[in-house]
Amino acid sequence: MRIAAAFIALLPMVSFGQAKQPPEPTPRWPDGKVNLGSVPGKKGYWEVRPGLGGFPRANDVPFQPWAKAVYEYRTATFSQDSPLVDCKAAPGPAFLNAPGFEIVDVPELKSIFILNMAGPHSWRVIYMDGRMHPQGEDVRPTYLGHSIGHWEGDTLVIDSVGFNEKMWAVGAFPNTSQLHLVERISRPNLKTLSYEVTVDDPGAYTKSWSGKWTITETTASKWIADGEMFEYICEDAGR
């Protein structure tokens, strides 16, 4: 019995085949700040596969009546009227769409750029220089809005306003020009990216709501090590 007990105690120490390697650490800049994209010797991009998900069921979203009706129409028609179909840009979660994206931190410009391959193959600029959002008549509503960012520990926080009402920010969920998005992006290790967004739009919802997803080595979406962004042509449907 003592021999059997000793053997059982040793089982966790016995390696059956190749031991699982610990995840590669989060890449950082010389000052210790997290780099959400490529670094020398560790280049790549974030590949997105359909079905990334992470958003609540419609029954859990605090719609205003008109917004719920619009959402139901869009889903019933398979989002055929989505601006993405016509190669129009989209902010927030809809920007991080298949087939993928890259995050490029440019410290000398005090800006972070997010580049995508979907839709119009566009880019977002996140201003990291401490500026505020434009106010009043200085606001120019656009598809991607105006985004400012800051770091909370190892998490990049992106605050965006100034959207037009032509874009769809979160799938088939409607939004108005009052939309305010707060996105939080972190990278616990080299091949893991966590994303969370809070949607605050008093024109369409009775209160704010949120969604989140994570890309890991085991999800369909992945960090493509040594990969490069490739050409993706979105043909205008002519509408």
For 194, the 3-state DSSP assignment is: strand
Give the pLDDT of residue 40: 86
Give the pLDDT of residue 17: 53
pLDDT digits (tens, 9 = 90+) for 57-109: 999 999 999 999 999 999 999 999 999 888 889 999 999 988 999 999 999 99
Output the 3-class SS for 22-58. CCCCCCECCCCCECCCCECCECEEEECCCCCCCCCCH
Residue 90's Cβ-side half-sphere holds a number of Cα atoms within 13 Å equal to 25
pTM: 0.89
- Distance (Å, rounded) from C-alpha 29 to C-alpha 39? 9
Give the pLDDT of residue 48: 94
Give the pLDDT of residue 231: 81
**Low-confidence residues of the chain: pLDDT under 50:** 1, 3, 6-16, 236-239
Residue 148 near residue 134, CB atoms below 8 Å: no
**DSSP H or E run through 199:** strand 192-200
